[in-house]
Structure 1
């Protein structure tokens, strides 16, 4: 097992200097050139820190808790947890994930994680929403994922919902669509309100009038299909921006019943890049991909910066579909989602 003393001998520095560098406490204490050399030697020799010894010495366990409300059972949880796990591993932390189904379960899980000496928490929601932070997390390092606290004080990260609506609608405008419909969500959600605003702004910037007859908000199944069918017959849209990929299916179905070809007669843009719809719909659906990996990664990076009191400016970031916002972004940090071009737009 490689020791700090061996690294110190190779680098020509003291053991205390090596300790500062490898424990992430070198900023302002050790010259950057020396710190980089110590890290390079440690990597070359295959140095691995002892988490137990480190926790006894620093009072930090390097354990992060990921509290999710139904997130672990949704189709997108894998990306969010993978992003969080990728960042945790990069920064030398262990991630413990728990899924809750109510206030009692949530309180129990938080208490259990605290008994492990968790250094900080990620608090995630199934869909972007305003949330009330549990009082048991009020005095601990915390970052919200896909949510914003009601007071706007807790660091958080979420998709830029307005930009989703704007970019999707603008893509349809560039395809030559003049009667662009919005198939939205009937549930009260941040995503619904902001995507609708983005849709309206894109129409306005393109010199097109907003017509509320071209907007239909639906839930699912039969009533949703009927509402979209009525929209086809009454308004004859040539472009459709859909709240999500699932709602785009109703557009495909209605088009097929009328002998219309998606990608030729009408254009459709969804949101999610849901794997099932991406592999099922033909022609393939142009869609805005939600940044689940990016949200998970950014949240852990932000949490570590709070725990360790560091800027993270020197951290190398992974290649991502959507660009990551800066760690010091205003609350909430918003991620500009990427539009994935496929074949459903003319």
Structure 2
């Protein structure tokens, strides 16, 4: 393990100078050229700070608490935790994750993380929605993930739901679909509102009327299949934008019952890039990928910037969707990526 003494010897400066530079206390004390040389030498030698020594010196543990409601137990949304973990590790922090099932054990898990002396919290929800921040978190640096604070006090990151609806519908318009349905969600949430607005906007921009009879809001069960069946029989749309990949299955099922071929007779676009659906439906489903990894990564960088009072100087990773700047207006939004497969007709 490389020490500050070794960095000092290689650079030809004192250990105290190296300490000032590597602890970001060099401004006004060390000449910029020397500071740059120290950092370059430390990087070349693979220097890593001692977390315990730093925590004793700064009263900071460099530990972040991640509170997940259901996310840790959900395979495709688990990318949020992976993104947060990668960013934390890169920035020299440790991430402690707890999974809750709602209010019943949330307070207990928050208290547990506080006993570890965490410097700040990430608070993540399933399926973008408004939420009330628990009172025990009010006095800590905090960033919400896939959720928006109802009071607007705290930083948050979420998918750009309106652009999801717009991009998916635009893909169907570009495929020359004449009648485009929206298979929405019956739960009141930000994602449903935003995707419906994007669907409406894309239609109006293309000069196509918004027809409420082509919009249905369904849960994930038998009645949902019947609702989509009724839509097939009533209006016979040739394009379907689905709130998520799971709801796209109802369209595939109805097409198969009628001898229609998805990707030829009807076109379908989903949302999630859920491996079970997007990779196993035949033909494979064109879908908008939710930026789970990106949200976790951005939220951690934002949290560290709040803790340290400055923007992290790490390099951003290559991601499927571009990350917004840390000073983006709140809630920060990520423009999701549409992944073209075979479920949209080639016209």
Q: Secondary structure at the match of 1:196?
A: helix
- Give the 5 Å matches for 1:265-276: 265-276=265-276
- 1:150 and 1:29 mapped to 2: Cα distance? 44
- Give the 5 Å matches for 1:235-254: 235-254=235-254
Shift of 1:79: 0.5
Q: Secondary structure at the match of 2:195?
A: helix
Equivalent position of 1:183 in the other structure: 183
Q: Secondary structure at the match of 2:237?
A: coil
Equivalent position of 1:225 in the other structure: 225
- 1:124 and 1:170 mapped to 2: Cα distance? 30
Over residues 3-38 of structure 1, what are the superposed CA-to-partner deviations in whole Å (9 max), with x where a residue is unaligned? 212212222333233223323444666555444432
Instruction: Go from structure 1 to structure 2 and tell me whether the alpha carbon gap of 1:215 and 1:104 turns closer, same or farther (over 3 Å shift).
Output: closer
Equivalent position of 2:318 in the other structure: 319
Instruction: Go from structure 1 to structure 2 and tell me whether the alpha carbon gap of 1:329 and 1:26 turns closer, same or farther (over 3 Å shift).
Output: farther
Greater Cα shift, 5-14 or 112-121? 5-14
Q: Is the 8 A contact 1:163 1:195 kept in 2?
A: yes
Equivalent position of 1:195 in the other structure: 195
Is residue 332 of structure 1 aligned with residue 336 of structure 2? no
Q: Is the 8 A contact 2:90 2:314 kept in 1?
A: no
Gaps of 5+ in 2: none
Shift of 1:53: 1.0
- 2:300 and 2:27 mapped to 1: Cα distance? 20
Shift of 1:252: 0.4
Q: Is the 8 A contact 2:11 2:37 kept in 1?
A: yes
Over residues 48-85 of structure 1, what are the superposed CA-to-partner deviations in whole Å (9 max), with x where a residue is unaligned? 32211111011111100001111111232321111000
Instruction: Go from structure 1 to structure 2 and tell me whether the alpha carbon gap of 1:131 and 1:264 turns closer, same or farther (over 3 Å shift).
Output: same
- Give the 5 Å matches for 1:118-197: 118-197=118-197
Equivalent position of 2:281 in the other structure: 281
- 1:276 and 1:160 mapped to 2: Cα distance? 23
Q: Is the 8 A contact 1:74 1:126 kept in 2?
A: no
Equivalent position of 1:342 in the other structure: 341
Shift of 1:222: 1.3
- Give the 5 Å matches for 1:11-160: 11-26=11-26, 30=30, 33-160=33-160
Greater Cα shift, 15-24 or 208-217? 15-24
Aligned residues: 345
Greater Cα shift, 70-79 or 275-284? 70-79
- 2:160 and 2:2 mapped to 1: Cα distance? 46
Q: Secondary structure at the match of 2:78?
A: helix
Over residues 273-316 of structure 1, what are the superposed CA-to-partner deviations in whole Å (9 max), with x where a residue is unaligned? 0011122101100000000000000000000001111123x431
Instruction: Go from structure 1 to structure 2 and tell me whether the alpha carbon gap of 1:76 and 1:28 turns closer, same or farther (over 3 Å shift).
Output: farther
Give the aligned CA root-mean-square deviation in angstroms.
1.4
Q: Is the 8 A contact 1:248 1:269 kept in 2?
A: yes
- 1:130 and 1:99 mapped to 2: Cα distance? 19
Question: Where does structure 1 differ by over 6 angstroms across 4 or more consecutive aligned residues?
Answer: none
Instruction: Go from structure 1 to structure 2 and tell me whether the alpha carbon gap of 1:62 and 1:224 turns closer, same or farther (over 3 Å shift).
Output: same
Greater Cα shift, 203-212 or 20-29? 20-29
Q: Is the 8 A contact 2:279 2:285 kept in 1?
A: no
Q: Secondary structure at the match of 2:288?
A: strand
Greater Cα shift, 41-50 or 317-326? 41-50
Query: TM-score, with normalisation over the residues of structure 2?
Result: 0.96
Q: Is the 8 A contact 1:239 1:267 kept in 2?
A: yes
- 1:27 and 1:235 mapped to 2: Cα distance? 68
Q: Secondary structure at the match of 2:264?
A: coil
Greater Cα shift, 42-51 or 26-35? 26-35
